[in-house]
Amino acid sequence: MFLWLSQALRGQFGPLNVFRYVTFRSIGAMATALLIAMVLFPWFIRLLQQKQIGQVIRDDGPQSHFSKKGTPTMGGVLLITSVALSTLLWSDLTNTFIWLALTVTLVFGILGFIDDFLKIRDRNSKGVTERQKLLTQFTTLGILFGLMYMGWFGQDLGDTRLYLPFTSAKNFAVDIGPIAYALFASVTVAGYSNAVNLTDGLDGLAIGPVMVSALTFGILCYLVGAHFGSFDVARYLLIPVVPAAHELAILMAAVVGAGIGFLWYNTYPALVFMGDVGALALGGALGMVAVFSKNELLSLIVNGLFVVEAASVALQRTWYKRTGKRILRMAPIHHHFEKLGWPEPRVTVRFWIISIMLSMVALASLKLR
């Protein structure tokens, strides 16, 4: 919206030309999302308390978590609202990537809202079944990617190649075709959505790595889509060229800003939890940006912490079904470390550090091509 207004008025007021720059608008989106979250969360927490919308705790979870029962949850409603409003205010509203990424973010947020609502209503930790959750996610993504590769969105979004990290995009790209790519992209987005949801088990644990990944993807999106006159940044760095993908940096900046505002109230001991409404939506946003920026494979490093969390659950279940024994004391893996006696803040901060290190490795790939 601000970009449109600046384009209409910059002939009369020259300084408005600054709105042309994605970097400026990204900072604006981050600041706006941060301001919305910081100002409105105290009111929103009181509202959740009045409505008795409190966290339901697993009976088999760590004993230290029992004291969290009743802590306001579904804070992701305001978190995602902050992200969406800031993105719409500061991004180019003619950009297809923005609309598609926001659509998935909001649909997954609604799915998470229903899940949280059922848990609170029924006073248990079941909510929406895994089958229902996956069916909704893959149906949404299947329709979206199907229409995308049929050319419904009036923009060339049909790059079905996978680019190998740490290699030249020109020489090391594998074209898997539209059907296989649509399936792969759907698995990527749904996988990260559920992985972030699994990670959201300790105060501040999920939102920290989400912000680190969002900042990393914001940089990558800017680089794959930015160009300065005749100088093409992506071609110079030997990474995929994705025209218009640089606008997604604004969405990622909004996630960082809203995340900082949320973390102010979610840090240990948490005053509010994001709930599935926030975790599923944020994971979906990270997945969509990974796909649109052609960093599907590199995202395994950027989102490595989420990958490990999801893998720990899958391995635990598979091994238990086959042998009747557990690999970890409790899955996801952050609960395993709690069972070993690590204090919750120690687990959280160390996982943040791991996330930062993984993102640094991913960004290092830019110079190793």
Q: How far is CA 346 from CA 118, 119, 139, 268, 334, in A?
A: 32, 29, 39, 11, 10
What is the model's pLDDT at position 14? 56
Residue 172 to residue 191: CA distance in whole angstroms? 25
Q: Angle at Cα 239 formed by Cα 238 and Cα 242, nearest 5°?
A: 130
As a whole number of angstroms, the distance between CA 82 and CA 104 comes to 16
pLDDT at position 363 is 95
Render each residue's pLDDT in the chain as its tens digit; 369 residues.
Answer: 666 555 555 656 556 677 688 999 999 999 999 999 999 999 999 999 998 887 766 555 565 555 567 789 999 999 999 999 999 999 999 999 999 999 999 999 999 999 999 988 888 778 899 999 999 999 999 999 888 877 777 655 678 899 999 888 777 889 998 889 999 999 999 999 999 999 998 999 999 999 999 999 999 999 998 776 567 788 888 899 898 899 999 999 999 999 999 999 999 999 999 999 999 999 999 999 999 999 999 999 999 999 999 999 999 999 999 999 999 999 999 999 999 999 999 999 999 999 999 999 999 998 776
This prediction's pTM? 0.93
Q: What is the DSSP string of 339-359?
A: HTT--HHHHHHHHHHHHHHHH
CA angle 137, 94, 219 (to 5 degrees): 70
Q: What is the pLDDT of residue 169?
A: 74
All residues at 6 or more sequence positions from 217 whose CB lies less than 8 Å from its CB, including other chains: 248, 252, 286, 289, 290, 293, 295, 299, 302
189 near 333, Cβ under 8 Å? no
Q: How far apart (Å, rounded) are the C-alpha atoms in residues 281 and 193? A: 7
- C-alpha atoms less than 13 angstroms from C-alpha of 330 in its C-beta half-sphere: 16
